[in-house]
Amino acid sequence: MNTFKDLLKGRSDRMLKANIAIVLLPLLIMVLPAYGQEEYRDFYSGSIRTTNTGMYILGGWAITNIATGAYGWSRFDGDKKYFHQMNLFWNTVNLSIAGYALYSNSMLDISAMGADEIMDKHTGTERILLINTALNVGYIGTGLLMRHFSGRSEKHGDLLKGYGNSVILQGSFLFVFDLVLYGILRNQRIDFMDNINVALFPDGAALRFVFPL
């Protein structure tokens, strides 16, 4: 008889815990995202500052290459002329990219963004930088090929060599630039997620609900 009562009592306790979990779960779903909402916005503000700093560096590189490219194009002959010419052409694109990115970031209303949208945009930037890093390897390879074929062309040898050297230089700079910026943004994201978890569960504990069978 006592065993039967113990079974009933045990089942009642499990049912009570299950009911409490059912009541608390919707509250937790609402409270936890709200708790970290401001933290997410602060994180993304830092992310934007990092990206903008990168765009200022890219823009500064572009302006320097455009200025020296214009000078070298008018000053030199042969492969050096084409080297500076391609530097100017290439960095006109870089300057446009940097300017567009800075403008787009300035138009963002972070206060109206939710946590999911913030993380999507941040990780999207990381993905773009990784893709660009792979493309930069292709640019360097293309530049090496152009230099290789420059010795086989009497008519376009100077152009291929000058353009090849420029593409190697620009691809190498962008490879380092994109990889470093990706690494910084990735570390910011990992540190932020670690801090959020610690803030929600300081002792490392996790919420766990066990439902009766």
Q: Tens of pLDDT along 193-206?
A: 988 765 554 554 44
Q: pLDDT exceeding 70 applies to what percent of the chain?
A: 75
Q: Is 205 helix (H, G, I), strand (E, B) or coil?
A: coil
Task: Give the chain's radius of gyration (CA, Å).
Answer: 28
Q: What is the pLDDT of residue 7?
A: 45
Q: Tens of pLDDT along 108-125?
A: 999 999 999 999 999 999
Q: Tens of pLDDT along 148-180?
A: 999 898 899 999 999 999 999 999 999 999 999
**Domain limits, the chain:** 37-198
Q: What angle do CA 14, 18, 20 make, to 5 degrees?
A: 120
Chain Cα centroid distance, residue 193: 15
Q: What is the pTM of this model?
A: 0.78
